[in-house]
Amino acid sequence: MRVGRQSRSVPDYMRRVPRWSNPNPSIQTMTFPTTIKPFAFRVTLANPRTAAKVADAFIPQNSVDKVVVEIFPGPGQLTRALLALPRSRIKKLIVLEHADMYLKYLKPLEGVDDRITVLPLNGETWSSYQKLEDMNLLDDVRAIPWDQGVHPQLHFVSHLMSNVNGEQFISQLFRGMPDQQWLFKYGRVPMSVLMSQYIWNRVSGENPFVRCKLSMIAAAVASCKDAVPDKALQPYAEHFYPVPSGHTRGRKEDSEVTKKAGPFVAVNISPLENQVIRPGLLDKWDYCLRHLYVNRATPIKKALPYLAPNAQSLMKGINVDPKKTIREMSIEDWTELVEAFDKWPFAPEDLSITDTIGIDDERHG
């Protein structure tokens, strides 16, 4: 069925299926148990007008016959906004949602628009994407050589969970680019993601005091830009659900509320043609970044022994200020260091990361 042109009100076809815009928060809590894990961190666009703006920024006017894979849609406000775009922009919309309570709001869309397929699959699980291929849902997607531009057809869209799982997931997506794994085997597939400001700060790394391993990996493999102005998604409570009590009661937000639910940003991500991380070197980048960011306030010359005994000798082969702290190092500095580490004959053979070095260590180092 052809979707009509969007008007100021909700399109007619959306009225014929269960829809979810922004009902009373108490009703939302009854319908969607967001106080219970794992739903507590499933932030979703709730305002249909905002969803329309975000959809237009994710799949803009020059898009033609896109095959969109959307994960973590929740009840589907953004899903509906994507379908309401001019039909010429989206040829196929593949939606992955594993939560039964959200599926009842998504499955009816299959009956009113022939472009959408809703699957009860977890978008965080890599095997889900193999199932898409097994079901022949990606058969019409062409593989585009990496040096021939951003993929014009395949597009990935997601809400990102606002906890450590969300941060780890976006990290995995970036990590798939250097060796062209996951959907990147089709080429430089663009991604459009809604994520918390807290995670975005760590991805962008603009503040050296927030800069981390994730920031460096992202800078090495992708270009990340705001899809819509930040102010278009603020205040949080007018655009997203769930709304923490700190928002609804006008209280000053504590750090946990800030991390969990707001503000949120919309980001467009494009893999770089020239990947700073060469194929096969991801493990060494991981090893160097993780071990050194534990001591982010330490000058590099003093921090290098944390890589391995006598690793300070690496300073002789790189053009990096020895007094520069780990968090002050640029992507160019890291590239020199990892390349030198790769050639160093005394580098440890076991590059596995122990359980004692994790994201929390990275943050507080």
CB crowding 333-345: b at 16 or more within 10 Å, else e? bbbbbbebbeebe
- Fold of domain 282-364: Helicase, Ruva Protein; domain 3 (1.10.8)
Q: At what angle do helices 213-221 and 331-343 cross, to 10 degrees?
A: 90
Q: What is the DSSP string of 147-186?
A: GG-B-SSEEEEEEPPSSHHHHHHHHHHHHTTTTT-GGGGG
Q: Measured between alpha carbons, how far is residue 167 from residues 42, 124, 139, 192 in Å? A: 13, 12, 30, 15
- Residue 267's pLDDT is 99
> For residue 255, what pLDDT is reported?
46
Give me the residue spans of the domains in the chain: 12-271, 282-364
User: What sign results for the dihedral spanned by CA atoms 316, 322, 326, 331?
Assistant: negative
Q: Which residues contact 309 (CB under 8 A, 6 or more apart)?
A: 346
Kindly report the pTM of this predicted structure. 0.85
DSSP string, 17-45: S---S---HHHHHHHS-TTSTTGGG--EE
Which numeric CATH code is attached to 12-271? 3.40.50.150
From first to last of the 365 residues of the chain, give the pLDDT tens digit.
333 434 334 444 344 444 544 333 333 443 555 555 556 678 999 999 999 999 999 999 999 999 999 999 999 999 999 999 999 999 999 999 999 989 999 999 999 999 999 999 999 999 999 999 999 999 999 999 999 999 999 999 999 998 999 999 999 999 999 999 999 999 999 999 999 999 999 999 999 999 999 999 999 999 999 999 999 999 999 999 887 655 444 444 444 444 555 699 999 999 999 999 999 999 999 999 999 999 999 999 999 999 999 999 999 989 999 999 999 999 999 999 999 999 999 999 888 754 333 334 444 33
pLDDT of residue 24: 34
Residues 122 and 96: beta-carbon distance below 8 Å: yes
| Strand 264-271 to 240-241 pairing | unpaired
Distance of alpha carbon 65 from the chain centroid: 23
CA-based diameter of the chain, in Å? 69
